[in-house]
A and B are shown apart, each in its own frame.
Chain A
């Protein structure tokens, strides 16, 4: 909780004020039985009508003061609670944005969503009912006990006998409850994850006709969720009748002893009545606080889960040099090796060294799984090298701030993810402020303009999540345009033209060089035609660069390269 305190800070005033108002309300509530017993013992017993009227008016006044307290408490506690939750969600989301992929994998998307929404809501609810109930209840309870003591100390001993029973019971319930709530939230994660996967993979599910299988899978996680919710809720519902029972027994005891005392003449019947009223009040307050405590223990679980996220240190830390900017775009790998964090097995990259200069196009070729994508993902620091370093303009990439580093690098990824929104909005990811002509110009370079402008709503066409309503090649062309919008010093095209036909690809490459002649370009591709004109071709195998050079050189020197060429273009291409 300490950890989360800072999110409450802006609302500290509300948090403090709310209980004060509650105090007012409770004080007024407490006055009522006392005044009433006065009406009976003084007014009625003495036949004093004026006193009855006076006391009655006093009670009305108390009621009105009470509402001010009650409403004020509601107002401030709600504001504080929702504000607290807002800050917490915001902090969580910021943290998640700073996560590395290893971090995200560790939590899973479904769980991160549960934590940012559901868990925060749990904490918020507990917090609000806490500053409402948990404070109201002890006030009521303690106030009740004080009043009882004032009326008759001897009789109030009876009330106190109930305390140990109640304590034992509440502690027992809380202890039992906690693990149940934990498992409840975990099961909720699971439901969320299954659902998220289903939505993302809906095409595959439909294609394989696996709806029933998925339903079964969902049923399993849903049943588990219901099972564990039921267990937790059962636990919670035990508390109410049990507290009632204990307090009612106390009531009987009180009546018994009170009765004795009335017979002895050491207490008035009106006072016994007040006693029973206060016991009811104490009972209610204890029931409420046991509920609140349950809430709290549920929230405790959520707090832990939220803290897990907040306390996770991102694997990728921001660079220190805030001044550093990429001017030219000279990329140099020095003895770089890499393996995915937390995974055993061979290195994905082994001892990679090469240099790429502005204006150069470096193509990377190699078998599936040979480490091509991994190699380029070290440049924008999607991952950090395990050994060795990547330098840009002579400076280690780790020294640039992530923002300055990534804003100079344009990447079109293999998985072409577009976001819900219009085409224009998606392109603006690369440059918020670009004028429309610029967007059109860049879209022209990536050969996206032709098809976009043919759409009825052109750049205002709304894309579904992940750009579902476009073809693969169209998405890729938009992704390239999006990357180019940044006017990057370094451009990485990671197999991002695989679904583009060859003619269009050739057009993209030509246009690219005409417009951005000083850019360092990395191209990962399978097609020889995509890489043939590169200034340097790196041939990769099993995480190593086995050959490098131009097309003309490699055809002579590299067996692997020659094989690839033959596989695509036939023997003629290598004969020369």
Chain B
């Protein structure tokens, strides 16, 4: 049912999300359900430069310098130890042929043994001072595990050797013990390196996530207005996860590849330069293949992550809006929408993965051919007598395999690396968004303001070209109650949003106690303003936790007093676990009106200097409202209060009533004055109380 819009209305091109990629442009303008722009504003759809991303990631690694360096040392040790093994085993073959001595190999092994113990000693020392205690613990765990398994096996080996040790040559045993030491060393090192790297990766990811979350707290509301929540969540989990995978695996792989490359090259050259030249055949091929493929996959991985984010966005929005989906029986439509995003994701993912994973087999074939060539040519060389021994060829071939390995390894890591870089770019994209402007350095702390509020020629629009408020001016004396009245969409809520500095004004000035709110720290400003919002939001958690959101260190008595004032103590007591009842996420266990009462209690407990009540009791029945009226009046006493309400009972006692229409104050005065004047307000009232009952109404 992918119908074209009858009105032919395409997606507005200048939507706040910026130019957003659509993977299925053909469906982009279809009227198939609300699938608008998904993607945060201000983010360029273009791929950023890879180098910058890598450098930034590297910046995060500096925090874990020490374990990283230790890991790299361990990596060096284990790689080199592994690399010496073919040399030794090559000699071994020669021992089997002749019985030449193997002291060089043995000496090398001893050197490495020394290197190993020093390395371990150093890391143990450093561990004492700098690393967390648990690292030592796990190193110890690993050591014990490795040592026991090694001891068991080598004891077994020793025993067998001893039993069978008839006429075995001493050289053979020597070579074998050299190998044994090498193996042990490489095992210990690789163990240490793995454990250290896990730490590096997780630490980095933790910091990355914390930074991203911290950044989100600083972003202006405009950003959240324009970005689907699930999309952001995907960045925090899926994208960061990819980075973690890379740090955990790829760093080791790549570094060990480089080390392997260098050592192998050296060994190969020293064994036979002719054969080394043959093995170089692989390099240009490998390079070409890799470059050709990665160029294409980079974009695809970016697409894959973006699709995943979009999918997350759909899931989040439709689950949290499940009630509406159900009553409109839109399940099929949202499923269709989901399926489309799912298909996009699958397409992008499949393409990216297939393309990048072709590299592996391609490299393999290049290597295998090289291997074949070298075997052949090596064979010739031996037959011609230009190379010393078969054992040497064995060594060389093993090295040449290892020499090819790095290319393979890097090729195999490309999938991980590219999707990690795509993820990192998406994370950094959020971090690069302009945050709420910093509090100015001389920001006034605003301690316990008296509550004088001044709006002077305030102009504001959520979009600059669409002003909501025009030249708004008014003044509230400390302790006054100001009621904002007017038709829906006139800008009443906007006024309080600006006072809270959720948005910055486009023109004019807002002052509290004579200080421009731009010069007050947001934290201080907002905590001295208490707000009960139209859309009540309660957090998953107990009733008590939600009330204390206004004052974290409140005592039980204070909580109960606030609850009693807000008239919610009774119903809380009736809940299965009273104040400790968990509020469910879909919020089915308490009613909307009860939620409003809880949020009033929350504001009461916070004890702010200035109170904002935005339709705070719209879902509370009038009798309950009358009951809390007393409390509300007590609460408002001595505090400057802004009240938005349609109910007369709430507004008639205000010191000033501001009638806002079309973003301007069209009438102002007290209830009596405005009724007298017979303007918009009086009209509103008479339509409200059809028979004009209200005019002579008593208290």
Contact = CB atoms under 8 A, between A and B. Distances in A.
Contacts of A144: none
B284 interface: no
B361 to A, nearest CB: 3
Interface in B556-584: 571, 574-576, 584
Nearest to B97: A269
B696 A208 contact: no
Contacts of B369: 59-60, 63-64
Given A192-B236, A270-B390, 8 more contacts: A44-B390, A56-B377, A63-B371, A83-B346, A116-B311, A269-B391, A429-B330, A570-B693
B362 A246 contact: no
Contact of A74 (B150, B358, B540): B358
Nearest to B213: A218
Contacts of B529: 207
A369 B624 CA distance: 10
B157 A276 contact: no
Chain B: interface size category: 35 or more
Contacts of B648: 568
5 contacts: A73-B361, A121-B238, A128-B353, A260-B164, A503-B688
Contacts of B375: 35-36, 39, 55-56, 59
Contacts of A568: 622, 647-649
A19 interface: no
A246 B187 CA distance: 10
Interface stretch (A319-327, A342-350, A386-394, A514-522): A342-350
B429 interface: no
A170 to B, nearest CB: 13
Interface string B671-689: 0000000000001100111
Nearest to A570: B697
Nearest to B533: A203
Contacts of A425: 31, 33-36
Interface stretch (A1-9, A328-336, A354-362, A459-467): A459-467
Contacts of B31: 424-425, 428, 432
Interface stretch (A146-154, A231-239, A300-308): A231-239
A378 interface: no
Interface in A207-235: 207-211, 213-215, 218-219, 222-223, 225-226, 229-230, 233-234
A214 to B, nearest CB: 6
A208 B549 contact: yes
A183 interface: no
A28 B33 CA distance: 53
B540 A206 contact: no
Interface string B296-315: 00000000000010011101
Nearest to A560: B623
A113 B383 contact: no
Contacts of A278: none
A269 B172 contact: no
Contact of A424 (B7, B154, B229, B698): B7
B3 A25 contact: no
A30 B465 CA distance: 71
A16 interface: no
Contacts of A35: 372, 375
Contacts of B489: 451, 470-471, 473-474
B684 A502 contact: yes
B229 A196 contact: yes
Interface string A453-496: 00111011111111011111110110000100010000000010
Nearest to A461: B12
Contact of B688 (A249, A369, A373, A502): A502
B161 interface: yes
Contacts of A208: 526-527, 549-550, 602, 606
B interface: dominant SS: helix
B533 A198 contact: no
Contact of A413 (B153, B206, B324, B523): B324
B688 A259 contact: no
A: contact size bracket = 35 or more
A395 interface: no
Interface in A525-576: 526-529, 563-564, 567-573
B407 to A, nearest CB: 15
A205 B224 CA distance: 13
A417 interface: yes
Contact of A44 (B85, B179, B379, B524): B379
Contact of A240 (B190, B393, B466): B190
Nearest to A172: B145
B96 interface: yes
B516 to A, nearest CB: 19
B312 to A, nearest CB: 6
B233 A415 contact: no
Contacts of A64: 365, 369
A78 B35 CA distance: 29
A368 B595 CA distance: 10
B483 interface: no
Contacts of B488: 451, 471-474, 476-477, 499-501, 504
Interface core residue of A118, A206, A346, A506 (most chain B CB under 10 Å): A206
A465 B329 contact: no
A108 B38 contact: no
A203 B346 contact: no
A43 interface: yes
Contacts of A57: 372
Contacts of A249: 150, 153-154, 157, 180, 183
